[in-house]
Structure 1
Amino acid sequence: MIKKSIAGIAFFMYVAMAVAIAQHTVTVTVVEAESRRPLPGASIHLHGTIYQGKSDAGGMVIIRNIKEGNYTITVSYLGYQTQQKHFTLTGNQQVDILLHRTTLLTDEVVVQATRATENTATTYKNISKADIAKSNVGQDIPFLLDQTPGVVISSDAGAGIGYTSMRIRGSDAQRTNVTVNGIPLNDAESLGSFFINLPDFASSVDNIQIQRGVGTSTNGAGAFGASLNIQTNTLNEEAYAELDQSIGSYRSLKNTIRLGTGLIDGNFSFDGRLSRISSDGYIDRATSNLQSFYLSGAWHGANSLLRANVFGGKEKTYQAWYGTPESRLTGDVAAMEAYAADDGLTTEETENLLNSDRRYNKYLYDNETDNYQQTHYQLLFSSAIADRLTLNTALHYTRGKGYYEQFRNQDEYIDYGLSPIVVNGQAITETDLVRQRWLDNHFYGMTYSFVYKNTDGLELTWGGAYNRYEGGHYGDIVWSEYPLFTAGGYPLHTDGGFGTAYRYYNGDATKADLNTYLKASYRLDKFSLFADVQYRRIDYAITGIDHDLRDLTQDALFNFFNPKVGITYQLSAASNLYASYAVANKEPVRSDFTDWPIEQTPKPEQLHDIEAGYRVRSQHFNIGLNGYAMLYKNQLVLTGQLNDVGSTLRTNVDDSYRVGLEFDGRWAPNAWFAWGATVAYSRNKIKNFTEIVGDVENFLPTTNISFSPDWVVSNELSFKPWKPFELALLSKYVSRQYLDNTGNSDRSIDGFFINHVRVAYHTPLWKLKNVGVTLLVNNIFNEKYASSGYTWGYYLSETDRVDYNFYYPQATANFLLGLNVKF
């Protein structure tokens, strides 16, 4: 029933928007005040509507279907002072806007150099500061992006605080390129982005652009399956102070303070934030204790901008990454006992499993925690070095260090390169112990771009970056039940106070990443053309001993050439058609090097991405329709195999693809009602795949790619019966996901449909700029669902297979209540 209704959402929404009754037309022309030449590409927003458009080559935009009434129009253009104009509409009207050059260079220069715009032949979604603030009451960034097309989110702890994850079009974090002010955020080795290291970072974000597919080179060198371009706080000319406090289910708390000086002496500004978030988590013992800060200082000149940012976070989270066995979710006692015996659970662990529920957490050791601290330093400089030439450059350094601690029951001495001992005449080959696995990272480099624009529609961007990573990987035994001895018989002392430790492995990694690109775009009458070529060189070296005591010393060198082309045709001032073709290459992650013998290390992935779409904007509705074909060569997928320490293995498959359609629309027929919806449908397939489980191989001519649902649908109905108050219903449907690449429903995650309610009231009060209350009630119908998981198994015989599925249950009905006070 739900699938049948999904297919009609986009059609019904389109028809409903299209029948909005028109009355009048407003023609806006934007010219430079001094020369009176037209300014193409000026941003135009008609207040009281959702219309946001760009002026054409003649500096003009026509806004149709506007009812009579009082309106305000805001026009902005890079390097010019933003202008507002008020008018009363009683018939067709001409509005002329004169823009004067700004006396200050603003942060928009940095954004302009990296962002896709309406005339860019790619698919994207912009999320404004106001959009982010609506639901920013404590949950992590992926949860704030849940209503964007094709996004599936998950949380280890179940409620969006702690470790969270996000997939876009089925692409995981390793294939989603994330930049902050144009600087890479992805970990250089795992290629993932861990927002837990920057808790409450959303409170310092001005806007986010998501590009689905390969996107443009200006959005980051590592762009592959998708990109997130995050822009932190920009200039606020007035001084401010702001407090955010939240409480919620599972003893969740958030405390945030933000301060800003505004513009001092016409040139300087300073901003700061301190945050603290804590939660017990939905999953048993999945606690989070998070702190973060953000500091920014800027000098704004007439033609230059210098900004220094320092931000970071510290997290301590109790482990919840093991997941919940399927037998625990179904309550199958016999299956739980069989699993406990198969996986070697202790008596205490088995009792914990049998006596728990869907909130089960395997770990019982008091300090089974992840501990990590990360600090980012950014120095950003932008300058309009000539009338049509802009320079953007940045220096950056990130320092990260931390560990996760584990209790290990009866581990063998030999696994740590240690000799057994004799106690009371009995040989002891195993011991209980506590170990810590450490990361000690440095990441630094520079980015640059030169942007040239002329009045004939030509824009050239030459840019690139050099980044270097240096990371230490080591492990310590900090406590053991029995004494430890080296192979030479030398004793190693440990004590319960963790005063000393035995380092059982130690290794280093370096990664140098150089890229340069040249992008050209040209506007010719109603056509906008672009071409983009990027060269990327990666030198990755690993030395030392891994945690399984193997010597990992190896070096890999990659040279990638990534071309992109696109075309946009302007149907009208409010609508266009576009198409693009892009090639991207992606290096393997660290585990691909460490989990396989050196001679079997997987090859890099290659993606050919074809995008085509239609965009239209009006006073009452925005629509984006997009079709794509992501064609992979050597995509890295799960094989079904486990290595000798139980980690899942990935291998290259020769031919695989993702083909889909996306709809992103918003309809606001009046001031008190708005309807937003996204629909993403895709087919995600591997050709000629061989699953390997133990010694058994299963060949499948065509099969589904794991964690890639056919349908992802979101829906938001917003009601504002009076200006300070908003009531919104947010819904999300995700169809079945497979845990492996066999397309077998016995190893899959059931589809789910969940609903949330957001209630907000914001108003000035006395001398306060705002007092706001936001109530977010998640999963209001108490749906019991999981959004991620994994599987492993083996064959007892050629036909008798044993599988164990594990899931990450998400929270049932829960709430977060936030208070915002702005001075």
Structure 2
Amino acid sequence: MKKIIFTAIVLSFYFIVPAQDTMRHKLTDTLMLENIEVTSIRATDKAPFTKTNISKAEIEKNNLGQDLPFVLNQLPSVVVNSDAGNGVGYTGISIRGSDASRVNVTLNGIPYNDAESQGTYFVDIPDISSSLSSIQVQRGVGTSSNGAGAFGATINLSTNEVNKEKYVELNNTYGSFNTWKNTIKAGTGLLGNHFTVDARASAISSDGYIDRAKSNLKSFFISAAYINKNSSLRFNILSGKEKTYQAWYGVPENYLDSDRTYNPAGTEKPGSPYANETDNYTQTHYQLFYDKKINSNLSFNTAVFLSRGKGYYEEYRAGQLYSDYGLPDYISGTDTITSTDLIRRLWLDNYFYGGIFSLQFQKNKTHVTFGGGWDEYDGKHYDVVTWAQQGGFPNDYVYTNVPANKHDLNLYGKLLQTLGSGFSAFADVQGRFVNYDIKGFEDNPGLRINKYYSFFNPKIGISFNKTNFQAYASYSIGAKEPNRDDFEAAASELPKPEILYDMELGAERRNTPFTYGITFYYMNYHNQLVSTGKINDVGAYTRTNAPESYRLGVELQAAETFTKWLNASGNISFSKNKIKNFNEYVDDYDNGGQIKNQYHNTNISFSPDEVAAAMINIIPFSNSEISFQSKYVGRQYLDNTSHVTRSIDPYYVQNLKLSYRLSTRHIFKAVDFIFKVNNMFNKKYESNGYTYNYFYGGELTVENYYFPMAGTNFLAAINIKL
């Protein structure tokens, strides 16, 4: 019934809202339609930074229901992974070997990274791709942005497009593993030449490739705006709700040949696996923007936001000691019971709120931006036992309650100065001030952390632009604080902040039948946090600072339109990613303690030396396209020792996509038919993993766990535009 009501409302946008007359279309040219909150942090065409811009049309072509990282999979130096094995549910992305905790993500200029883990969980905003009007991916430190510092890349997402014409879209996908995506989108166009409303509702579900790795994802998006000649006011609500069966433990290495879809989650329960071993989370974003064009040279933007998140993951745990939950042993008659099976929920309940602003001045050859942001994070971490096989547990017993607060203030100034003869100079400086107050950890509730950081992040560069050609050079410094898990150490072992010195040299040719680009980069890290296996004096495995490490590489891109029916594009990255001196710590179960191994010039984990992507597009007849897509990812090491026995094998995967647009002159503006075959040659490969090593019985035992990707599978879509 809810779907029927919503569909009726959406269709009313198209059939009830009157069409705008010609005069109103002419008037829209005088309205303020630029998204200042996005342009203030994005790199312009003349800025000397390595970047890729993705248009709305390109996003739509690749959006068949998989998570956003898979939409970005063909970009240079990008590697993606999926817990469920098919790109639905929990997914991950790394760029130049830097994982999501080092990739700065903003949504309309507002920070999206989790304040504590600094990671990004696109599963919390399902089908965000259907609401995006553009994406910019900056590789390296990039320009100053809001939120956590960029240590590998920045992903800027924008939804604040002004749709002048009314529209209704119905997008539906079905695929392997009972995968469904149903999306309804609608917009009023400009009403009275000033008002506009856009809305979307999405439902995505999948059984997943891995056993029981089911996903049930729902989301909606509403954006309403008032626009006039010199100002605009916009209010967004974006909400996502996810329920996914846990698939984050991986598959043991010795199962890969016999049972690639094995999932250990829920198997602590006797008999069949526990049915509700699930992750459950709802996240809602409220954003209010005000843009003002003060005069022909000066414009201003401000925004306030609130992100509300609440949810838990549920676990069945066998043989749990009462003492681990702060309770005495249970006495039953004459028996003393020390352990029991139980079900617990680990809760996260948080508010993330604040504001951003920017002031932009542009006159003749000078473009100056001053901006910044302030945000507060109020996070509650608490764990509840909801059921126990034996007695002794109070109802809904809360055994851990460890809240945290984080305050973040940043101010930046940018100058882009055109020098003449095609040359431009760029300078950017940011100050960022962070206070992090952690009131305990799940395993160490008595450990309290209160740290203050101040960072100074300057960037300079020069570019040359002339007749579709650009060359540039830049030098940037980025610094960032450790994440929550890094602080689970004794006061004498607290981690230091990370610092990155990034040099970029590039050249590219654009807007011609043959385009190309080449980028050289050197990313020199000081005190990069890496996993060593070391146990600190409170018994926790945490990352530690590696004094010296670096990433050195070259990225090549090219595309050519050979004829009106054939074009091709591709990119390839070669890099060296090294830790100069690395100490590994291995648990010694025979003698107690740990064994220390020293290494020199080892590979940084999850940083392949080669990453490549290519696409060949054939247009056999009007409104049709056949696309051959391929992806190669070189060897990835699971730890920082460079042992091949602890690595992910290289993989090369090909996809095939067929599309056809049926244009009509009646009810439908267009109907798109899309059929995509992923992994068309049924390659067996893994996209992610982890390792654990220990000495026992005088021998080193290596336990590797992997996340296999699905074999040949398909997605078929019918997208209708009214």
User: TM-score band, normalised by the shorter chain?
Assistant: over 0.9
The verdict on how the C-alpha distance between 1:636 and 1:201 changes in structure 2, with shifts beyond 3 A counting, is same
Partner of 1:796: 696
Counterpart position of 2:455: 560
- 1:143 maps to what in 2? 70
SS in 1 for 2:294: strand
Q: Secondary structure at the match of 1:146?
A: coil
**Structure 1 CA distance, aligned partners of 2:403 and 2:485?**
14
Amino acid at match of 2:643: N
Q: How far apart are residue 362 of structure 1 and its match?
A: 3.9
Per-residue Cα deviation, 1:675-729 (whole angstroms, up to 9, x for no partner) = 1101111100001111111211110121110000000000010111222111000
Once structures 1 and 2 are overlaid, which stretch shifts more, 356-365 or 655-664?
356-365
| Deviation, structure 1 residue 815 | 0.6
In the alignment, the residues of structure 1 paired with residue 110 and residue 160 of structure 2 have an alpha-carbon distance, to the nearest angstrom, of 15
Give the AA of the match of 1:278.
S
1:243 paired to 2:170: yes
Aligned-pair identity (%): 47
Compared CA separation, residues 493 and 218, structure 1 to 2 (3 A)? closer
SS at match of 1:327: helix
Letter in 2 for 1:577: A
1:65-118, Cα deviation, whole Å (9 max, x unpaired): xxxxxxxxxxxxxxxxxxxxxxxxxxxxxxxxxx99941000344433222122
Could you say what secondary structure the match of 2:534 adopts?
A: strand
Alpha-carbon deviation of 1:552?
2.6
Pairwise mapping of residues 154-233 of structure 1 onto structure 2 (< 5 A)? 154-218=81-145, 222-233=149-160
Contact 1:180 1:230 in 2 (8 A): yes
> CA contact under 8 A between 2:246 and 2:265: conserved in structure 1?
no
Q: Distance in 2 between matches of 1:107 and 1:682?
A: 38
Structure 1 residue 233, shift from structure 2 partner = 4.4
Which amino acid is the alignment partner of residue 757 of structure 1? L
Does structure 1 residue 589 correspond to structure 2 residue 488? no
Residue type of the alignment partner of 1:479: W
Alpha carbons 1:107, 1:305 under 8 Å: kept:
no
CA distance, structure 2, for counterparts of residue 549 and residue 207 of structure 1 = 43
Deviation at 1:762, TM superposition (A): 1.1
Q: Who is 1:35 aligned against?
A: none
* 1:291 aligned residue (209, 215, 218): 218
Contact 2:212 2:263 (C-alpha < 8 Å) held by counterparts: no
Pick closer, same or farther for the CA change 1:786–1:714 going to 2, 3 Å.
Answer: same
Is the contact between residue 329 and residue 336 of structure 2 (CA under 8 Å) also seen in structure 1? yes
Give the alignment's TM-score, normalised by structure 2. 0.93
Q: Contact 1:772 / 1:819 at 8 angstroms: preserved in 2?
A: yes
1:396 and 1:132 mapped to 2: Cα distance? 25
Residues 771, 821 of structure 1: 8 Å contact kept: yes
Between the aligned partners of 2:536 and 2:215, the Cα distance in structure 1 is 31
Tell me what 1:726 maps to: 625
1:82 is aligned to none
Q: 2:191 aligns with which of 264, 273, 292?
A: 264
Q: How far off is 1:280 after superposition?
A: 0.3
Contact residue 219 and residue 229 of structure 1 kept, 8 A:
no
Compute the displacement of 1:745 (Å): 0.1
The alignment status of 1:395 with 2:304, answered yes or no, reads yes
Equivalence map 1:9-408=2 (5 Å) = 102-218=29-145, 222-331=149-258, 356-363=259-266, 364-408=273-317
Task: Determine which of 387, 390, 398 is the counterpart of 1:482.
Answer: 390
Deviations 1:12-35 (A, max 9, x none): xxxxxxxxxxxxxxxxxxxxxxxx
Unaligned 5+ segments in structure 1 are 1-98, 332-355, 485-491, 495-500
Give the aligned partner of residue 808 of structure 1: 707
Residue 573 of structure 1 corresponds to: 467
Amino acid in the other structure paired with 1:639: T
SS in 2 for 1:503: strand
Please say if residues 156 and 320 of structure 1, whose CA atoms lie closer than 8 Å, have aligned partners that are also in contact.
yes
The residue that corresponds to 1:451 in the other structure is 360
Q: Secondary structure in 1 aligned to 2:361?
A: strand
Matching residue within 515, 520, 533 for 1:622: 515
Say yes or no: does 1:783 pair with 2:683: yes
Match of 2:545 in 1: 652
| 1:285-334 CA-partner distances (Å, limit 9, x unpaired) | 00000100000001111011111100110000000000000011144xxx
- 1:473-497 Cα distance to aligned partner (Å, 9 max, x none): 000000001112xxxxxxx434xxx
Q: Which residue of 2 aligns with 1:90?
A: none
Q: Would the aligned equivalents of 2:76 and 2:571 in 1 still touch at CA under 8 Å?
A: yes
Amino acid at match of 2:91: T
The whole-number CA distance in structure 2 between the counterparts of 1:373 and 1:221 is 22
> What is the Cα deviation at residue 621 of structure 1?
1.9
Structure 1: distance between partners of 2:183 and 2:151: 34
Structure-to-structure mapping, 1:393-542, within 5 angstroms: 393-455=302-364, 457-484=365-392, 492-494=393-395, 501-525=396-420, 526-542=422-438
User: In the aligned structure 1, how far is the partner of 2:559 from the partner of 2:540?
Assistant: 44
Secondary structure at the aligned position of 1:403 is classed as: strand
Please say which of residues 633-642 and 526-535 is displaced more in the overlay. 633-642
User: Is the contact between residue 564 and residue 583 of structure 1 (CA under 8 Å) also seen in structure 2?
Assistant: yes
| Counterpart residue type for residue 785 of structure 1 | Y
Shift of 1:637: 0.5
Given that residues 583 and 607 in structure 1 are in contact (C-alpha distance below 8 angstroms), is that contact kept between their aligned partners in structure 2? Answer: yes
Whole-Å separation in 2 of the counterparts to 1:767 and 1:221 = 47
Structure showing greater radius of gyration is: 1
Question: Which amino acid letter does the alignment assign opposite residue 678 of structure 2?
Answer: N
Deviations 1:568-590 (A, max 9, x none): 023x3211210000000010000
Q: CA deviation at 1:416?
A: 0.7
Structure 1 residue 425: deviation in Å?
1.6
1:736 maps to what in 2?
Answer: 635
Distance 1:565 1:121 in 2: 8
Cα distance, 1:617 vs structure 2 = 2.0
Matched, 1:746 2:655: no
Specify the code of the residue in structure 2 equivalent to 1:610: M
SS of the equivalent of 1:649 reads: coil
Deviation digits for residues 539-577 of structure 1 (CA, Å, limit 9, x no counterpart): 00011x43225313220000000000000023x321121
Cα distance in 2 for residues equivalent to 1:258 and 1:721: 30
Contact 1:458 1:520 in 2 (8 A): yes
Aligned to 1:134, the other structure's residue is in SS state helix
Alignment match, 1:33: none
Q: Which residue type is aligned with residue 656 of structure 1?
A: S
Deviations 1:97-154 (A, max 9, x none): xx99941000344433222122110100011111111121110000000000000000
The 3-state SS of whatever aligns with 2:168 is strand
Q: Distance in 1 between matches of 2:499 and 2:416?
A: 25
Change (3 A) 1:317 1:644: farther
Tell me how far 1:218 sits from its aligned partner: 4.2
- SS in structure 1 opposite 2:669? strand
SS at match of 2:608: coil
C-alpha separation in 1, matches of 2:32 and 2:447: 49
Distance 1:810-1:190 versus aligned 2 partners, 3 A rule: same
1:120 maps to amino acid: A
Q: What residue is the counterpart of 2:13 in the other structure?
A: none
Give the Cα–Cα distance (whole angstroms) in 1 for the partners of residues 162 and 571 of structure 2. Answer: 32
TM-score, normalised via structure 1 length: 0.81
CA distance in 2, matches of 1:360, 1:483: 30
| Distance in 1 between residues matched to 2:196 and 2:306, nearest whole Å | 22
What amino acid is aligned across from residue 144 of structure 1 in structure 2?
A: V
Alpha-carbon shift at residue 357 of structure 1 (Å): 4.0
Q: 1:717 aligns with which of 603, 611, 616?
A: 616
Q: 1 CA distance for matches of 2:449 and 2:538?
A: 20
- Contact 1:608-1:632 within 8 A present in 2 as well: yes
Q: Which whole-Å CA distance do the structure 2 matches of 1:647 and 1:210 have between them?
A: 35
Which of 662, 665, 673 aligns to 2:558? It is 665
